[in-house]
Structure 1
Amino acid sequence: MLALGKLSSLKSLSSFAIQTLSAPPQQSQAFPVARTSYNARINKAGREGDFATVHHVLNKRVLDGFFNTNNTFKFISTNNLSIILNDLLETISRLDNYFARKCSYDCLTDHLSNMHCISEATRVAEAVVSEGHVAANNATFHPIINALMKEEFDESWRVMDVMKSYGVNPDLTTYNYVLTGYCFIGNVTSSADVLARIEKEELGEDTRTYDALVLGECRAGKLDAALVRRMLDDGVSLLYCTHAHIIGPFLKYNYYEQPVEFVRSYAGRYVKLDAENYGILATRLITRSRFEEAKELVKEMSERRLTVGPRLKDFCELHPERSKILSMHPALAGLMLQVWLQAPVVSLLGQSTEACRILSHGGYVTG
């Protein structure tokens, strides 16, 4: 009888052990592994000041094999930044592993830079270095320089001095951000100074360097093909936005044959590039009431089996009627064209955020 009792007890323990092993952990049931779940939980906890949960979710996200995104620290605003930044920095410093800390610091720096909270973003970058939780590199400071290059050039140089003081020498990407900013506003002298620094530090050039130089020349009205030829001779491919930089000034100075010739000279190499170039040029020709040239380009796009957006296609098919309306009401021409084409719409096609920002100043659509 005693043996039967022991056997019954063993069966009960065995059954309990099997149930315990087969049941998933309670935390996993409450927190499913889904890409969309992390940001929502982090932001909810952040708004409530629950940094223990923020700490847990940031750790779990990395363990589950996911990365932080632009929305990870969306709970931060200019209203609560001064209140929560210390707690958030302390929370990140206690994350379990190097990768989680590095990703979180960089993501926070990027978010603050996008908010244009430069002093706070710089403080985060300096905390990364001074506290020794992770090794700082150029990527830590890139978002700050990128945010400053639009107009605050003196501050960008100050941040670069901060980088050097911590043993982080600015790389080519850092200088490219500043170079692009100077070229965008047409500051030739400062652009030359940046190039001199790049050469002095033997950083070389890449597609972004040349893209900035082409942008600068085009903004200054210097439609010289020498720089493009040098790019090709050096084996540097033109970015999509570099083509757009070249097309724009031709039209600005009322040259219409040259941009068409330029676009056709690159036709047949890459389908996406062709669709982008033809779409940009056709749309800009329409905004200048060059309907026949635009219609010819759209026809050529169809022959090349390039994707033609419905708005661009319909506009060119109906261009006699639309040109008549625009000629009757010239004051409404720009407004009607913008409404019809829904400009400006920028095609990303793998371009960086900053390249798309520059392109959007042209106000074009790709069809």
Structure 2
Amino acid sequence: MITEQKRSPTAAPVDQSFIEIRDLHHEYGGITALDSVSLDVRAGEFVTLLGPSGSGKSSLLHILAGLIDATSGTISIAGRDITRVAPQKREIGLVFQNYALFPHLTARENIRFPHNVRKTPESEASDRVAEVLELVELTALADRRPDQLSGGQQQRVAVGRAISAVPKVLLLDEPLGALDRRLRQQLGHEIRRVQRETGITTLYVTHDQEEAFTMSDRVVVMNHGEIRQVGTPKDVYTRPSDSFVANFVGEVNLWPVTVESRASATTAATIAGAAPFTTQCGDEARACDGNLMVAVRPERVWVWRPGEPAPRPEIQLVDSGVIVESTFLGNSHNVVVESDNLGRTTALLYDGEEPRDLGERVALGWEAKHALTIPQ
């Protein structure tokens, strides 16, 4: 059965590391693709490697798959060192962006291919292929070749082939990149469903924040061959470790700040010319000092008419300005305020929130808990 991995005696308990990557370093042509990367992934976890092009996420995935060799460092799966093990002996399923299906084989035959290579007994192979076809919802299309299937159906064949032989780990390298947005969302949910039903420990590579946030148990944000932050989607979004992460995982307002005083995790700060305000220190484990910025998401910025009280007592008045852009987004408006001291500030206003008209003068501010002081 495909669900055998959940009962496998070699699988680590869910609270222990199943994949252990230690000090992984990779260079090619004098360029550092990975800079001493270490990462732990728990059994059954869905972890997404998120970052811009050239961040090292695909290099990490390909080294894990055995397609390229690391310059140094080690990788183990379920306690077994696979750093120098041949790709076909790593018990890893891999899905590429272009799917890499065999064009002359049907969906059933593509999914069966790993069993042909491993010489799986006929009855066992047939049973597993039938189960996988049902799991990826392709039973009715099993005898069609790839050129007779849509892009989304081909992607499901690729996933089915990757999990058919019950791998210990499933790796997906931007498998939805060539699809339109609606189909990406639909198939992203299907991939996550299949992963949950099989319990396969999964690493997924993307540069798409929405994919990472909607599909993952944890997100690993990478840049320039380094891991910048690891956390749940909520933690990465609401408590970014630095200005790169804050910028990459969503729209954000960022300003350089001067810290006036600090008590525990609370910081009194100022932006040049604006009113003093209270913020939260992004990293409570160390002093929030040095070159700092304050990050406030647009949906946490409030605007209101000058002279009127703030919409909530806990909202701090920080600056004022004029609305210079107002974009209708369906259930919300995205407005840009040319502030007197902050420069351009973006706010997201939901149905019923005012003001939002071009040229209107507004006061603006935020709650202390929604302003985060982070390293620049």
* TM-score (norm. length: structure 2): 0.26
* TM-score (norm. length: structure 1): 0.27
Structure with greater proportional strand content? 2
Give the number of the structure with larger relative contact order, counting CA–CA contacts within 8 Å between residues 6 or more apart. 2
Structure with greater proportional helix content? 1
